[in-house]
Structures are given as structure tokens and as C-alpha cells.
């Protein structure tokens, strides 16, 4: 998903800089999206003017290219190791030659911005390419585009082509700003068999906020959702020796859950945050199934539990839980360590004493809005304690409420315990964010999922074991075949279901598969190889968060190597746009912001200096 906007930096220049074309072209092949945003502008003023190009793209995307064309001369981007690019950038800055690009983080998006001075009468074309793997959530894939041009654009279009070998089962596109039939007629969407298409081409008149207005009503979210047919639980695709295995079985019963909610009720939760937490928990209680077991652990300076042990979600217990939740009040400081350890110990004990069903799965969901500041407050020690207490038996999910917390710590803590962290943004919908998260993990269909391939047939496999498979999600494993000429191979997916163990077997005829995929002109290049590289880098970066010493160095080297090879702007690389004949004359551009303080500082650096003649531009794309 992405958003885009064109803007002059100074409002008074708006009429001088005409953005006459903006095109967003998305090609999605087997969930892997390749997006190109192209904007063309001309400076109609008598003097040089500055033009900005802003695109909002998903945090999960990697920029793969950015080019700038000024009066027909194109300056391509090159991905370099961050340190190398940074030195070049700093040199340029010291020479006063910079024009910059910054990325800032939002909820789902991060912003790519670049400004360039354009001589009088000159034209400039910005082209940004980024790629991402669309993840399945609650039964559908979602592409999110932010649309926000600052002026009417003569030639504005969004074109999305989707190709899914399994066949498309539903496709929808909705824009928050389409509130009338007139603009609605500019949107078309269709799908048939394996192909889907969405097009949005509003004319100038359709873009006007009123018939005589000069401002645009295109301002908001453009969201495309789709899903694929699932006649069989798995689908394997192979092209040029790389394979991807999608696994999403349907029709299985939900595995009963033993869920412990570890809730921060420290003083900082005062006011709306505690109200929203109560609201969310009350809603979640409505959705808990009777076969599930639960408990609430509240932590401030101390730890309070609703019940001494986990209890079944009977109607009576749920009613009692509602009363308990309604009376949650904020107080004291933040003792994350003891809160978590109490919850974990309760789950371990329930399992040991067989007070929860044998075929059930345990989950810890922690919500906090701040850093630990009482009891054991050293993050590293808390991580050590939690890792040891959980012992790989169940996942921990961390919800970071608001901004005043060490999100990197929460993320590391969750990742090393097979879960993940999620930010809950302080906003009117925080309760819905909490509830939405719970819905994602509410329906485990399989536990201890392991995807197995024939030994010695596969190389460079991405993650192939998962604690849980949740209804509406999808497991994606990619890898490389040792022998490209092999005729077939077999993949087994093993997991524990609610009542039985299951082994799904997928046999793949490679020749047939490759033939079928080659016939499709919708497919862009070696998409499976890039998908594999994307997934591998993503997983290496996650692992790196909890690694130390030589292991961290090794993971960094692997991720960097792949980022450079596949031209991905990741936290380890930067993209530098270089004037071809003058390699010293460069300028740094973007950054990939992370969630932690270190990255935030980097992300916040913006460079913008005086006009440089277009004959010697230099730009820098950074990813952190």
C-alpha cells in the first residue's frame, strides 16, 4: 500500500509548479506486490522552483528503486551499505549541496519525501518503486494506498493488476473520499479466474471539490482487498528454481485457548487509555468461547489477579469477569516483570496440573503503555526471565499503548517468545485496535506447525515452524531448489489440531507448474525469487533484533548481502541517486524508520538546503 502526494514546499509556488501526471501502477503476483509511483511536474515560473515528491508506503515495504529525471536526463538509484552511503551523504552536506528526503513513521505507513529544485521551464519526473508481500489477515489481503495530491492533476490514475494462480475469490476497492456517484464512476474493479483489475482514473472535473473549485477532493485512503480460492489448503509455486509455499487450511475446528491478559494499570494509563482498555476487554469477553480458559493479571507497582487460577469461560465466569473489568482502575508504577511472570507461571501450572484441556493452546497477551520502572526494570533481565519462564511453550504478544514506551524492548520480548508486538495508537479507536488484535489470535486452528520438505532438495528455506496457525491468516514459506531440473517434490505440513494431529501433503510436479506459470503475461520477472529474498531479509532482521556478538554480525552480513543483491532499501542499506559521470556528486535521500529511539532519531533528520543547479543533483535514499 502506498500513498502519494505532490506538493510544492511553499504554498505560493503552487501555481508555478504544475503536477500534470501522477500514476500508480501496482502489479501483484501471488501476494507479492510490485508498485511504481510516477509523478511528472513542470516549473512554469520564471525562476527555479522547488518541487517535492511525497509518497506514503507501508512500513512492511522495501523501496527498490527511485529515479529522478530532469529535462530528459535520468539519475538512477543505487542501493549501498548504509555506512558507505552515509559518508557520501555527509560529504555532500558539508559542501552545502544537499536536497533531502525524509521518512517518518505513522500507523501503517512511512513517508518518502524528496525535494528538488527545477529550473524555469524544466520538467521533472519522479519514479519510486517498492515491493512488499501482502499478508493475509482475517481472510483477506489488503493493499493500502494513501491518496493525497495537493492540486488537481490532469492525468491521475491508479492501476492495479492482480494475478493469483489459485484464482481470485473476491476483490473489492474502496476509497474513503468517494462519496458521490460522479467520482465513483471513475473507479472500476473486476476479477475473473486468476486475474483481477482495479482502475481509478478521475478526470479533472471529477477531482474538483465543487464544480467551480480549484482544490481536489482526492484525499484519503484507497484500499484494495481480495482473497484467493482455497480448493486445497496449500499452494506451491515454482519459477526458475525458487519456490513459494502458501498454506491456509480451512474448515478446521478452533483449538481451545488458555489466555492470560496481562494488563498495565499504572498511573500513566489514567483517563482515556484505561477507559479504552476496559471497553476493549469487555468486547473481547463477548467473543471468548466457552471452551476457552482465561484470567486477568493486572500490574502496577504490584500484581493483582482476577482469579488464582485459569477459569473456564462459562457464562457465569464471563459475567463475573465483566464486573471485574468494569472496576479496573489505574494506580501506581509499572512492574512488567512480575506481571508477566505471574501470568506465565499460571499457564505453566494449569498445564502441569491438567486443569486445562490437554488439546488446548496457551497465549499471553500483555498490554502496557510505558517502561518498567519498579521491581525488575532492566529490559535485558526481564527478557531473560520471561524467556526462561515460557521456555518456548507458548507465544507472548505485546501491545504497546501510545508512544511513551520502549517499543524495541516489547518487540524483542515478543519475537523471542514466538509472538509479535503491535502498537496501539492513542486515538479514538484504540479500543477497536485492541479488539482487532484479539480477533487475529482468537482462532488458532493448528499449533506447532512445521513445514517439511525432502532433505537435500531445498536450500535457503525461510521460516518453516510456527507456534500457531490462525484462522484467516496464511503461512508462507519460500526457498530454493537444489536441483532446478528435478521433476517433483513433496511438502508436508504437520500440526496439532483441536482434536487430532494433521499432516497435509502437497505434491508438486515442477515441470507442469513452471509451464503453467510461464504462460501468464501478468507475472513480473522472477517474482518468487524476490519474494523469497524479501521474506528472508525480513526474517533475518527480526532475528537480528535479539542476537548478540558474532551471531548478530552474521545475521547482519546476510541481510545486507541480500539487500544489496536484490536492491532493497532496508534498515541496513541506503539508496543513493548519483549523477552518472560524477560519483562524488551525490545526495542522500530516504530513511526507513524503525520503532525505537535510535531509528527515530535517524528518521527525523531532514536536509534541505539552497538551490543546486540541476546539472549536479545528488540524492540519497536511506532505510532504517
Partner 1 sequence: PHFIIQVRGKKDAICFNIDEEPGTVLRLIQDPITGLTVNGQIIGDQGNSSNSKNRKTYLGKVGIVNSPMDLRIEVTTEKITLHNGAAQSTFSWLDTVTVTSERFSVKINREATVVSFGKGITFKVILHQVWKKHHIHLHFLGFYVLDSDKMSTKSHGLLGQFFRPLAFQVSDLNPGNDPSKIHATMLVKKHRLAVTRGYQKDYRKDVHNGTQVGCWFVHNNGQGVIDGVHSDYIVSDLF
Q: Which stretch binds partner 1 (CB under 8 A): 204-212, 268-276, 499-507, 561-569?
A: 499-507
Joined together, the cell numbers standing for residue 116 give 528538488
Residue among 130 and 466 whose Cβ is closer to partner 1: 466
If one asks whether residue 500 binds partner 1 (CB under 8 A), the answer comes out as yes
Q: Which stretch binds partner 1 (CB under 8 A): 148-156, 292-300, 327-335, 505-513?
A: 505-513
Minimal distance, residue 497 CB to partner 1, in Å: 7
The SS3 of residue 578 is strand
Among 95, 179, 185, 232, binds partner 1 (CB under 8 A): 232
Joined together, the cell numbers standing for residue 617 give 543533483
Tell how strand 195-200 and strand 187-192 pair up. Answer: antiparallel
If one asks whether residue 553 binds partner 1 (CB under 8 A), the answer comes out as no
If one asks whether residue 250 binds partner 1 (CB under 8 A), the answer comes out as yes
Minimal distance, residue 250 CB to partner 1, in Å: 7
Among 20, 270, 425, 504, binds partner 1 (CB under 8 A): 504
Q: Which stretch binds partner 1 (CB under 8 A): 85-93, 250-258, 460-468, 610-618?
A: 250-258
Q: Which stretch binds partner 1 (CB under 8 A): 176-184, 244-252, 299-307, 592-600?
A: 244-252
244, 346 Cβ separation under 8 angstroms: no
427 vs 421: CA distance, rounded Å: 18
If one asks whether residue 181 binds partner 1 (CB under 8 A), the answer comes out as no
Task: Tally the residues of the chain.
Answer: 624
Using a CB cutoff of 8 Å and minimum separation of 24, what contacts does 547-553 make?
Answer: none
- x-marked contacts with partner 1 along 479-498 as a string, rule CB under 8 A: ------------------xx
If one asks whether residue 564 binds partner 1 (CB under 8 A), the answer comes out as no
Minimal distance, residue 291 CB to partner 1, in Å: 9
Among 15, 90, 155, 231, binds partner 1 (CB under 8 A): 231
If one asks whether residue 314 binds partner 1 (CB under 8 A), the answer comes out as no
Among 315, 499, 549, 580, binds partner 1 (CB under 8 A): 499
Backbone φ/ψ region at 123: left (φ over 0), alpha (ψ -120 to 50), beta: beta
- Across 401-417, b (16+ Cβ under 10 Å) vs e yields bbeebbbbbbbbbbbbb
- Across 489-521, b (16+ Cβ under 10 Å) vs e yields bebebbbbbbeeeeebebebebeebbeebeeee
450, 495 Cβ separation under 8 angstroms: yes
Residue among 214 and 253 whose Cβ is closer to partner 1: 253
Residue 439 CA neighbour count, 13 Å, CB half: 13
Among 179, 503, 520, 615, binds partner 1 (CB under 8 A): 503
Q: How far is CA 245 from CA 278, 347, 456, 559, 615, in A?
A: 40, 33, 17, 22, 48
436 vs 56: CA distance, rounded Å: 23
Interface with partner 1: number of residues (CB under 8 A): 19
If one asks whether residue 233 binds partner 1 (CB under 8 A), the answer comes out as yes
Name the β-bridge partners of 23.
Answer: 38, 157
330 vs 478: CA distance, rounded Å: 46
Among 96, 211, 251, 613, binds partner 1 (CB under 8 A): 251
- Show contacts with partner 1 in window 316-345 (CB under 8 A): none
Minimal distance, residue 71 CB to partner 1, in Å: 57
69 vs 124: CA distance, rounded Å: 6
> Interface with partner 1 by CB under 8 A: which residues?
231-233, 249-253, 497-507
Amino acid at each position: 500500500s502506498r500513498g502519494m502526494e505532490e506538493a510544492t514546499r511553499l504554498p505560493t509556488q503552487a501555481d508555478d509548479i504544475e503536477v500534470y501526471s501522477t500514476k500508480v501502477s501496482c502489479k501483484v503476483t501471488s501476494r507479492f506486490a510490485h508498485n511504481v509511483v510516477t509523478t511528472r511536474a513542470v516549473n512554469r515560473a520564471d525562476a527555479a522552483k522547488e518541487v517535492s515528491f511525497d509518497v506514503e508506503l507501508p512500513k512492511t515495504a522495501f523501496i527498490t528503486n527511485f529515479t529522478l529525471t530532469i529535462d530528459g536526463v535520468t539519475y538512477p538509484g543505487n542501493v549501498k551499505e548504509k555506512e558507505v552511503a552515509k559518508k557520501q551523504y555527509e560529504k555532500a552536506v558539508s559542501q552545502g549541496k544537499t536536497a533531502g528526503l525524509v521518512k517518518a513513521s505513522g500507523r501503517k505507513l512511512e513517508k518518502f519525501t524528496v525535494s528538488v529544485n527545477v529550473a524555469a521551464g524544466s520538467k521533472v519526473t519522479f519514479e519510486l518503486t517498492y515491493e512488499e508481500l501482502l499478508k493475509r489477515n482475517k481472510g483477506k489481503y489488503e493493499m493500502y494506498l494513501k491518496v493525497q495530491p495537493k492540486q488537481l492533476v490532469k492525468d491521475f490514475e491508479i492501476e492495479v493488476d492482480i494475478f493469483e494462480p489459485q484464482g481470485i475469490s473476491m476483490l473489492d476497492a474502496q476509497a474513503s473520499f468517494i462519496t458521490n456517484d460522479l467520482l465513483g464512476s471513475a473507479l472500476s474493479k473486476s476479477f475473473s479466474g486468476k486475474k483481477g483489475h482495479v482502475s481509478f482514473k478521475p478526470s479533472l472535473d471529477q477531482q474538483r471539490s465543487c464544480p467551480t473549485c480549484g482544490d481536489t477532493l482526492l484525499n484519503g485512503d484507497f484500499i484494495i482487498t481480495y482473497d484467493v480460492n482455497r480448493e486445497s489448503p496449500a499452494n506451491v509455486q515454482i519459477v526458475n528454481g525458487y519456490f513459494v509455499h502458501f498454506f491456509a487450511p480451512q474448515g478446521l475446528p478452533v483449538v481451545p485457548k488458555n489466555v492470560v491478559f496481562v494488563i498495565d494499570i499504572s498511573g500513566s494509563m489514567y483517563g482515556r487509555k484505561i477507559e479504552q482498555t476496559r471497553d476493549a476487554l469487555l468486547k473481547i469477553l463477548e467473543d471468548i468461547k466457552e471452551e476457552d480458559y482465561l484470567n486477568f493479571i493486572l500490574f502496577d507497582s504490584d500484581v493483582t489477579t482476577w482469579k488464582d487460577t485459569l477459569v473456564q469461560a462459562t457464562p457465569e465466569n464471563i459475567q463475573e469477569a465483566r464486573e471485574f473489568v468494569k472496576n479496573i482502575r489505574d494506580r501506581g508504577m509499572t512492574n512488567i516483570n512480575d506481571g508477566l511472570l505471574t501470568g506465565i507461571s499460571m499457564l505453566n501450572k494449569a498445564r502441569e496440573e491438567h486443569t486445562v484441556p490437554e488439546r488446548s493452546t496457551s497465549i499471553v497477551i500483555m498490554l502496557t503503555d510505558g517502561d518498567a520502572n519498579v521491581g525488575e526494570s532492566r529490559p535485558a533481565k526481564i527478557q531473560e526471565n520471561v524467556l526462561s519462564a515460557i521456555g518456548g511453550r507458548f507465544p507472548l504478544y505485546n501491545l504497546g499503548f501510545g508512544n511513551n514506551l520502549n517499543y524495541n524492548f516489547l518487540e524483542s520480548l515478543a519475537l523471542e517468545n514466538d509472538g509479535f508486538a503491535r502498537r496501539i495508537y492513542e486515538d479514538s479507536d484504540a479500543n477497536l485496535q485492541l479488539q482487532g488484535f484479539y480477533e487475529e489470535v482468537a482462532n488458532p486452528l493448528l499449533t506447532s506447525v512445521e513445514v517439511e520438505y525432502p532433505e537435500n532438495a531445498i536450500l535457503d528455506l525461510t521460516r518453516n515452524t510456527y507456534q500457531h496457525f490462525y484462522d484467516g491468516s496464511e503461512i508462507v514459506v519460500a526457498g530454493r531448489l537444489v536441483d532446478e531440473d528435478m521433476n517433483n517434490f513433496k511438502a508436508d505440513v504437520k500440526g496439532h489440531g483441536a482434536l487430532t494431529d494433521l499432516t497435509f501433503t502437497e505434491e508438486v510436479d515442477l515441470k507442469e507448474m513452471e509451464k503453467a506459470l510461464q504462460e501468464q503475461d501478468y507475472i513480473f520477472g522472477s517474482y518468487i525469487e524476490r519474494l523469497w529474498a524479501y521474506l528472508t531479509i525480513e526474517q533475518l532482521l527480526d532475528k537480528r533484533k535479539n542476537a548478540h556478538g558474532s551471531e548478530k554480525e552474521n545475521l547482519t552480513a546476510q541481510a545486507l548481502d541480500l539487500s544489496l543483491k536484490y536492491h532493497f532499501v532496508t534498515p541496513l542499506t541506503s539508496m543513493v541517486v548519483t549523477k552518472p559521470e560524477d560519483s562524488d556528486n551525490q545526495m542522500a535521500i530516504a530513511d526507513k524508520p524503525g520503532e525505537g529511539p535510535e531509528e527515530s532519531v535517524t528518521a527525523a533528520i531532514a536536509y534541505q538546503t539552497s538551490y543546486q543547479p540541476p546539472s549536479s543533483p545528488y540524492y540519497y535514499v536511506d532505510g532504517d
